[in-house]
Amino acid sequence: MQSAQRTVLVVDDEDVIRETVWEILTEEGYRVIAALDGSEVMSLVAKEEPDVILLDVWMPEMDGIVLLKKIRREHPEARVIMISGHGSIHTAVTATKLGAFDFLEKPLSLDGLLATIERACGDARREVSTGEERPHAPGSRGAGRPSYPSGSPGNGAGAAPQKTLKKSVVACGLGLHSGVSTGVILHPLPENSGIHFGGISGDATVPAHLDYVRSTDFATSLQRDGVVVGTVEHLLAALHSYGITNLLIKMYGEIPIMDGSAIEFCRLIEEAGVEDQQGKRPEIVIDRTLRVVGDGEEEIVIEPADGFTVHYRLQYPNPVGTQEYTYVDKGADSFRDEIAPARTFGFLRDFEKLERLGLIKGGRLGNCILIDDERVINTALRFDDEFVRHKILDIVGDFSLIARPVRGRVTAKMTGHADNIALLRQVAETYCGVGAAEEIPPAAGSPSP
C-alpha cells in the first residue's frame, strides 16, 4: 500500500477501461476518481489536485491532446500519462513534447501502467516486471514489468555518481536497417535502475546489457522476452560518455539513425540536462591483457591504463586508405567534440548488396558517408579521419553494454561489433564472474526476466 495515499484521475470514454483501472489502482492503495470525457476534467483537476492524470487521446467532446495542452497551461506541475488504442511513436512524441509524463499504448499492460504511475508519483519501489500474474485490462498482453540492472561491486576503488536526465526528451528519424519512421523518448529513472529499452506499451523492456545482445550484424541489437531493439550503439555511446546510468528509452524496434553519428543524441542529452544521483557506479579496472583475434587482420586488445582510451587502426583501399586515431576519454566534452560527429560509412558496392538483402532501407544521402572506388560521393567529411573516429564511436557504444565504467586501453585493428562484444564477454567473465541475471538485482520501476 502507498505510504501516503495518491490520487489518480482516470479520463477515458470506455467504461471497461475506467472500471478495470479503478479496480486495480484501488486495490494498490490509490484514491481513484474518473471522468468519461473532457468536459469536467479541468474542474476536477482544480478541485482534487490529482497526483497523476491518466488521459485517453481519443475521446468525444475534446481531443486528449487538446486537453493535455490545456491542463499543462493551467496546471504546469500536473503529471499526465497519455493512453491510446490508436497510438504510434509519433503520437507519443507529440504528447511528450507537449509535457506528458509518459505515453502508454492500449491494450494496457497493468504492470506497466502501475510502474509508470509510480514513477510519476516519485515512488521508486516497484519492479517494472516481476513476472507475477495479475489481472489485465481486456485484451491486454500482460507481459509484466521490466527489470533494470544496477551493476555489481567493482574491482577498483573508483566510483562515479549515477546519473539520469533532468526531464524527458524526444527525437524522431528513420531506422537505418528497417527504413521505418521511428523515434525515441528518453525518460529519467531512479538510481540503481539501469538503462532499458522498451516499446510505448509500457510493459516488457530489455536492459542495455551484454547478456541481451541478439545480433552484431552491421549494428548491435538487443533482445529479451520478445522485445527486440536494433542499432543501439550510437545512442548508448552518447549516454555512456555523459555518464547516464538510469534511463528508460521508448521506441519502435530500431533507434533512429539521425545523421549517422551520435551528435544529435549529445544535443538531446544536453537539452534535457544531466542530474547526479546519490548511488555510485563502481568501475572495472583492467589489470591484465585480454585479446580477441579474428580470421584475418582483425584484432582487439584491452590492457591496463590510467583511464579509458581507444586506439583504432583501419586500412581500406583508396579513397579511405590507412587511418589511425587515439581517443582519450576525458568526459562528455571530449566525446562530443572528437567522436560523436563521426558518421556511419560504407562502400557503394556493399550498400547495393545490403539493399538486395532487405537491409539499410533507411539509408539516405543525409545519414551516412557513401564511398565509391574513387571518392566520397555524397558529402563533405567532418574530419579527415572521420572513418576511424566512427569505428571508435561504435566501440564506445558497445563497451557501455557492460553497464560499468572501464579503466583500460583498447587497441583495435579492422574490427567490428562482433569483435567488440567478444572482448566484452572476456571482460565480464574475468571481472564480473556471473551473468546479468545472477549479478544484477532488479530495481524499482522495472520487469524482471
* C-beta separation of 400 from 237 below 8 A: yes
* C-beta separation of 151 from 141 below 8 A: no
Give the distance from CA 425 to its chain's centroid.
21
* C-beta separation of 253 from 180 below 8 A: yes
Rounded-to-integer distance, Cα 91 and Cα 99, Å:
13
Is 234 marked active-site?
no
* C-beta separation of 83 from 124 below 8 A: no
- Residue among 209, 234, 240, 417 flagged as catalytic: 417
Residue 323: in which H helix or E strand, if any? strand 322-328
Distances (CA, A) of 359 to 132, 141, 205, 430, 449: 38, 30, 24, 35, 30
* C-beta separation of 129 from 224 below 8 A: no
Residue 270 CB-density burial (10 A; 0-12 exposed, 13-18 middle, 19+ buried): middle
Q: Is the dihedral of CA 95, 96, 97, 101 positive or negative?
A: positive
Three-state SS at 10: strand
| Residue type at position 390 | H
Task: Name the residue with cell 472500471.
Answer: 19
Residues 6+ apart with CB under 8 A from 358: none
Instruction: Give me the torsion for CA of 112, 150, 238, 306, rounded to 10°.
Output: 180
Length of the chain equals 449
Tell me which residues are annotated as active site. 417
